[in-house]
Homo-oligomer: A and B are copies of this chain.
Amino acid sequence: MINVAIMGHGVVGSGVAEILINHNERIAKRIDKQINVKHILDLRDFDVPYSDKFTKDFNDILNDDSVSVVAEVMGGINPAYDFVKACLEAGKSVVTSNKELVAAKGAELIKLANQKGVSFLFEASVGGGIPVLRPMANCLAANEINEIWGILNGTTNYILNKMIVDNMDFDTALKLAQDLGFAERNPAADVEGHDACRKICILAALGFGKHVYPDQVQTEGITNISLDDVEYADGFGAVIKLIGHAKKQENGTIIASVRPTLVSREHILSSVNGVFNCVVVDGDQTGEVAFYGKGAGKEATASAVVADIIDAIRHSGVKKYLNWQDGYEGYVDCFIDEIGKFYITLKGNDYEALKPEFIAAFGDCFESYVFNEYRKEIAILTKELSKSQVKAKLAAMTQLNEYKILHTML
């Protein structure tokens, strides 16, 4: 019999409790051991069949030597960080769905877990129920990972999808997502890219071996994306997705970003609709490998937490494979002059005068462009250029007074 504790009884925490309690026999059969939920920590009161397990005092968990695995599903940095640290120091394995915690403190907590010979696992922190961290670490062990892309936030993908498929504007789509429970009342963490940012930090850390902190990632949300952008992108054979991206450079540094990106309709990421997530990993041996599924939701996320609990029990004492070290100043290159095809929209005081200026500035450096006579706007898909070249061309246009640049995967 293995005693576990659950810290937090919100959406994910109650899901974990329900799986462990309701499917106890199923799991016992698979791992030849019975799992007993001994404590559930939450300050609130709940009317559930297992209400005898609740405690409001963290010390009931920390000081119970019979508890060997703790699931942290409270979210946020405080007090989760202190609790997790204390559990690891006490020799308990910890599993968590808390992406904020892992993105901020991952390297430190992994190091502590290794020192103590216990597990610190966090599959549920990226992609909800999609198995991605463990396969990345484990099955791709023979690979050098070159690049990672992902649709990492279901809320923004749902909103963009509604804009693309149903021609709904951003505000209406956001309102609908809120009504359906896919978006929070305060949607900033999602629509401004912070949630996706934490996840690309975790993926980049695991893929490239060094911690990446959220403030090192160029993060841009989707609030600036209009229905016109969606339509221009369509004309260029692409859809707009919020893409988390990380890439290793030859000098050992990496680049990392979260931003709205034009994705070719030929690419698998363009087919990821609704609240689904997808992570694409490019290994030097396997080429592109993708992991797809529901990125959120009570059952999906809880099942990933439970899989980690099972793993911690099964492999107690085995060397951990979710592993990375601390980063260093300048490890994430924030000043790189990126090269690619860019999507640009241009507006000027005098639209007619802007046209010849645009032609003069861009010469033959575009793949395609649209003069939108109705909106008096130019939309461009450039050839491969550096961002500084793009900026220089824009700076040369005297009539320009408003523009937008998006990166592409084209």
Contacts and interface: CB of A to CB of B under 8 A. Distances in A.
Contacts of A286: 128-130, 293-294, 299-300, 303-304
Interface stretch (A19-27, A181-189, A197-205, A356-364): A19-27
Interface stretch (A57-65, A132-140, A368-376): A132-140
A167 interface: no
Give chain A's interface residue range (CB within 8 Å of chain B): 35 or more
Nearest to A310: B141
A111 to B, nearest CB: 16
Nearest to A303: B285
Nearest to A272: B268
A291 interface: yes
Contacts of A23: 142, 144
A143 interface: yes
> Chain A contact residues: over half helix, strand or loop, or mixed?
mixed
A391 B181 CA distance: 45
Counted per complex, copies of this chain come to: 2
Contacts of A143: 303
Given A272-B268, A290-B292, A294-B286, A307 B131 contact: no
A66 interface: no
Interface stretch (A244-252, A313-321, A402-410): A313-321
A91 B148 CA distance: 39
Contact of A285 (B129, B272, B315): B129
Nearest to A274: B266
Interface string A320-341: 0100000000000000000000
Contacts of A291: 135, 289-292
Given A314-B319, A314-B321, A292 B268 contact: yes
B142 A131 contact: no
A135 B26 CA distance: 18
A377 interface: no
8 A-B pairs with the lowest CB-CB distances in the bound complex, closest first: A131-B139, A285-B303, A129-B286, A142-B306, A271-B271, A289-B293, A131-B135, A290-B292
Interface of A: 19, 23, 26-27, 30-32, 123, 128-131, 134-135, 138-144, 266, 268, 270-273, 276, 283-294, 297, 299-300, 302-304, 306-307, 310-311, 314-315, 318-319, 321
Given A27-B141, A143-B303, 7 more contacts: A129-B286, A131-B135, A140-B303, A141-B306, A286-B293, A286-B303, A290-B292
8 contacts: A129-B283, A129-B287, A130-B289, A268-B272, A268-B276, A285-B303, A286-B303, A290-B292
